[in-house]
């Protein structure tokens, strides 16, 4: 299955191993070198399987690609936006999902028969959940074949990582487009007349290749270097798209706006086609819609999770088509959609502390993230070389780039399971799966990456002994003759895959018939804050509480702190688990129905008026998609503008082959759209989706 692609040597080797052996495989190759095709080959070989990706955006991209490559197969997606139950899972062929969704599924006895192979994209992103999931697969389902894909595994970690996965390593350093890395050193000095000036030296392989200067600009926003690097890239690297990376959303928007204004100031004519596309966007589509509408006519865009789906798709499609000169985005694109460009520019070499999205405590960016992002430089079909531009503003920064970021190929792999909160939630699950003695639990822990990589497992084993003691004290497990058994509460904690403290809150509030939304949010946030936000951060916890009480899940579409978005995701998970709690306990009264409206519904749409009305006619996953992508627009009482109506049609039914008929009429009435025109928009969006799938199949 190469679909016309000329395969690299490592791809041929990997495909050969898929046929000649049943061993797991670890594929290590640079960004853009075609690792994904090996994963798709594995799915094709077995006819059924799972492809995991770490983010919703990447899941959606892989789902689109698989639909295009395998039109005869039923490809489904499962994440926090798309439900994936037992029947749909069993009837489908290829399932694209996040690791979190996979962890829910592997607890079922029917999982193994339906999943002969699991492909892990970005397998080096070893979160605690991810590590336990892989260990469960290895220990509980040894017949399931694991295929790991990564661009960044440090050479010193390769052997132990492969040993842990019981995998053969297939490795390549061959890039489809060679990289040139340029360090741009900005320094302030005085010229011969005593006026301040900015000296600029560009280093390539340690040698100065450009030595120039420009007048000093008092620039608190530090945008002058953006213009300087833009000019250098055009003069010394050819005119082609430039992809700008920033650590946070607001800065990406700021850079894009600066570049757009610079192009206007320089007299560059606006792009009529992009201007027409901008006019199709709603000014209320997201918190950043107005800035995007302003930027697009100048062939400048930005892309991040704060945009609506329509806005993200538009920027992505125009970037892929080569229509945009500049695209600003965030470091999080390291695990996001594929947006290559001839030039990659880092706004800064620093990430910022977890307490704030704003510039604050400096922290050198992660080496693996740096390598993944710079790997986007160079488009295989257009460029014979890719340029990476790295600004520094002191000798210290220059040394950090040369001696850390450019010296090493990846960050060291580190296990993150040594966390008391996480382990306390994990132990009941292990007991449920038959790891019911201290020796068996120790064996499971030794099968984790921690156990494989650590020379001294005593600290973790000691921590586990303490945790088991606390679980006994809390009546979650019982110990008898050296064997652990789950209590009635423990069985539920294990089946629901949650921390006992979370279970206690849900159980207590349910028994009290509590229907106050703010009480549920307050208790769940305060119970999980140390784990999700971090310890000893009362101000952040209070901010998070206040924002979630007002916006709920719609916080994702608002300008908010990253820790509030993280907490919104975690609360969404806990509310989904609460529904499972209701099913386990088979409540016969009407509390669940009342809770769904008063608590879960309120969390989903906060104070969004239209979302509340739409909740009466849409499925929960449909409403989630609207809120995640159109939150601010749903504050209004009607949506009169056609761009937003079109976006709603796309989000709800663009990927469906059936006509929604009566449901579409109800939605049109709620949002204030003319029903016949809204039906036409639905049909147009479905036609566009079918055409995209056909084009995707041809392209792949």
Residue 559 is assigned to a structural domain of this protein: no
Whether residue 200 sits in one domain with residue 156 = no
Residue 545 domain-assigned? no
- The mean pLDDT value of the chain amounts to 86
- Contact between 172 and 30 under an 8 Å Cβ cutoff? The reply is yes
Lowest mean pLDDT of 219-228, 521-530, 541-550, name the range: 219-228
The arithmetic mean of pLDDT across residues 526-534, rounded, is 93
Tokens of 98: 């996040």
Q: Could you say which of 446, 472, 497 is where a domain stops?
A: 497
Residues 31 and 149 in one domain: yes
Q: Which residues of 662-697 are buried (b: 16+ CB within 10 A; e: fewer)?
A: ebbbbbbebbebeeeebbebbeebbeebeebeeebe
**Are 581 and 506 within 8 A, CB to CB?**
yes
Domain that holds residue 447: 420-497
Residue 599 per-residue DSSP state: I
CATH number of the domain encompassing residue 488: 1.10.10.10
Among 447, 466, 497, residue at a domain's last position: 497
3-state per-residue secondary structure call for 571-597 = HHHHHHHHHHHHHHHCCCCCHHHHHHH
Q: Does residue 447 have a pLDDT over 50? A: yes
Distance, CA of 580 to chain centre: 25
Q: Is residue 696 part of a domain?
A: yes
Claim to verify: residue 27 and residue 159 sit in the same structural domain: yes
Asked whether residue 551 is assigned to any structural domain, the reply reads no
Domain closes at, from 136, 171, 206: 171
Indicate the SS3 state at residue 387. Answer: strand
User: Do 398 and 435 sit in the same domain of this protein?
Assistant: no
Question: Each residue of 349-383: pLDDT tens digit?
Answer: 998 644 344 444 578 999 999 998 998 898 887 88
- Total domain count for the chain? 4
Q: What is the mean pLDDT of residues 568-594?
A: 87
- Residue 514 within any structural domain of the chain: no
Confidence at 292, pLDDT banded by 50, 70, 90: very high
Percent of the residues in the chain that have a pLDDT greater than 90, as a whole number:
44
**Interval 21-60: pLDDT, tens:** 999 999 999 888 889 999 999 999 999 999 999 887 788 8
Mean pLDDT of 159-169: 94
- Beta bridge partners of residue 51, listed in sequence order: 96, 119
Same domain, yes or no: 37 and 87: yes
CA nearest neighbour of 474 among 453, 495, 502, 451: 502
Residues 248 and 131 in one domain: no
- The region, left, alpha or beta by phi > 0 then psi within -120 to 50, assigned to residue 4 is left
Please tell me the predicted confidence (pLDDT) of residue 344.
Answer: 94
How much is the average pLDDT of 232-245? 85
213 and 149 in a single domain? The answer is: no
| Mean pLDDT score, 660-672 | 87
Do 14 and 42 lie in one domain? The reply is: yes
Q: Residues 224, 356: one domain? A: yes
Residues 680 and 697 in one domain: yes
Least confident of 64-78, 572-586, 596-610: 596-610
Write the pLDDT tens digit of every residue in 671-680. 889 989 998 8
Count other Cβ atoms within 10 Å, centred on residue 384.
Answer: 9
Is residue 79 in a domain? yes
Q: Which residue has the higher pLDDT, 85 or 254?
A: 254
Map tokens 């979650």 to a residue. Answer: 476
Residue 584 falls inside a structural domain: no
CB atoms within 10 A of CB 207: 7
pLDDT digits (tens, 9 = 90+) for 454-503: 767 777 788 888 999 999 999 999 999 889 999 999 999 999 999 999 99
* 205 and 344, same domain (yes or no): yes
Confidence tier at 635 by pLDDT (50, 70, 90): low
**What's residue 529's pLDDT?**
94
Distance of CA 56 to the CA centre of its chain: 5
The CATH number that applies at residue 127 is 3.40.50.300
DSSP assignment of 434-447, as one string? T--SHHHHHHHHHT
C-alpha Rg value of the chain to the nearest Å: 26
Confidence (pLDDT) at 383 = 86
pLDDT at 261: 93
552 found inside a domain: no
Beta bridge partners of 77: 96
Are 108 and 251 members of one domain? no
């Amino acid at each position: 299955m190469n679909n016309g692609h000329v395969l690299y040597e490592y791809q041929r080797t990997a495909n050969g191993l898929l046929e000649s052996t049943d061993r797991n495989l670890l594929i290590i190759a640079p960004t853009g070198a075609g690792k994904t095709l090996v994963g798709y080959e594995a799915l094709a070989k077995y006819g059924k399987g799972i492809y995991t990706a770490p983010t919703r955006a990447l899941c959606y991209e892989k789902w689109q690609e698989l639909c295009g490559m395998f039109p005869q197969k039923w490809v489904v997606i499962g994440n926090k936006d798309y439900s994936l139950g037992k029947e749909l899972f069993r009837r489908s062929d290829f399932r694209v999902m996040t690791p979190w969704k996979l962890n829910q599924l592997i607890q079922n006895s029917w999982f193994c028969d339906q999943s002969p192979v699991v492909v892990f994209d970005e397998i080096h992103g070893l979160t605690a959940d991810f590590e336990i999931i892989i260990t469960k697969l290895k220990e509980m389902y040894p017949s399931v074949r694991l295929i790991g894909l990564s661009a960044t595994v440090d050479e010193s970690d390769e052997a132990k990582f492969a040993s842990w996965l019981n995998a053969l390593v297939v490795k390549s350093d061959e890039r489809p487009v060679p990289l040139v890395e340029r360090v741009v050193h900005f320094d302030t000095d005085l010229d011969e007349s005593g006026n301040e000036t900015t000296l600029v030296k560009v280093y390539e392989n340690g040698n100065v290749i450009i030595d120039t200067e420009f007048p000093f600009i008092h620039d608190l926003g530090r945008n002058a270097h953006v213009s300087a690097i833009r000019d250098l890239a055009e003069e010394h690297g050819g005119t082609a798209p430039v992809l700008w990376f920033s650590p946070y959303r607001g800065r990406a928007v700021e850079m894009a706006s600066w570049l757009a204004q610079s192009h206007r100031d320089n007299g560059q004519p606006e792009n009529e086609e992009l201007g027409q596309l901008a006019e199709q966007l709603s000014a209320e589509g997201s918190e950043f819609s107005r800035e995007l509408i302003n930027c697009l006519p100048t062939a400048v865009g930005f892309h991040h999770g704060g945009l609506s789906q329509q806005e993200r798709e538009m920027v992505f499609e125009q970037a892929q088509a080569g229509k945009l000169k500049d695209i600003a985005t965030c470091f999080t694109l390291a695990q996001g959609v594929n947006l290559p460009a001839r030039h990659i520019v880092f706004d800064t070499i620093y990430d910022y502390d977890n307490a704030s999205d704003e510039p604050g405590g400096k922290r050198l960016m992660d080496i693996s993230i740096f390598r993944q992002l710079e790997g986007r430089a160079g488009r295989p079909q257009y460029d014979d070389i890719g340029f990476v531009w790295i600004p520094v503003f002191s000798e210290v920064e220059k040394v950090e780039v040369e001696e850390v970021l450019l010296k090493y190929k990846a960050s060291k792999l580190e296990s993150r399971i040594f966390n008391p909160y996480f382990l306390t939630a994990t132990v009941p699950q292990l007991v449920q799966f038959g790891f019911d003695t201290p020796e068996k639990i120790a064996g499971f822990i030794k099968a984790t990456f921690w156990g494989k990589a650590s020379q001294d497992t005593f600290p973790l084993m000691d921590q586990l002994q303490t945790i088991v003691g606390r679980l006994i004290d809390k009546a979650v497990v019982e110990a008898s003759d050296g064997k652990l058994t789950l209590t009635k509460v423990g069985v539920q904690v294990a089946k629901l895959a949650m921390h006992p403290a979370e279970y206690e809150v849900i159980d207590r509030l349910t028994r009290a018939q509590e229907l106050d939304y703010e009480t549920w949010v307050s208790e769940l946030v305060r119970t999980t804050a140390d784990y999700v936000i971090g310890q000893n951060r009362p101000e952040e916890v209070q901010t998070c509480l206040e924002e979630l009480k007002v916006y709920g899940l719609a916080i994702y579409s608002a300008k908010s702190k990253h820790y509030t978005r993280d907490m919104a995701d975690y609360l969404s998970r806990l509310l989904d688990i609460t529904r499972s709690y209701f099913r386990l306990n088979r409540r016969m009264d009407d509390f669940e129905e009342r809770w769904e409206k008063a608590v879960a519904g309120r969390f989903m749409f906060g104070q969004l008026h239209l979302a509340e009305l739409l909740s009466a006619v849409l499925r929960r996953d449909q409403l989630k998609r609207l809120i995640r992508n159109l939150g601010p627009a749903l504050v209004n009482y009607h949506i009169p503008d056609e761009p937003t109506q079109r976006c709603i049609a796309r989000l709800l039914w663009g990927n469906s082959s059936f006509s929604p008929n009566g449901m579409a009429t109800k939605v049109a009435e709620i949002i204030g759209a003319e029903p016949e025109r809204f039906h036409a928009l639905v049909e147009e969006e479905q036609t566009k989706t079918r055409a995209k799938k056909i084009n995707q199949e041809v392209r792949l």
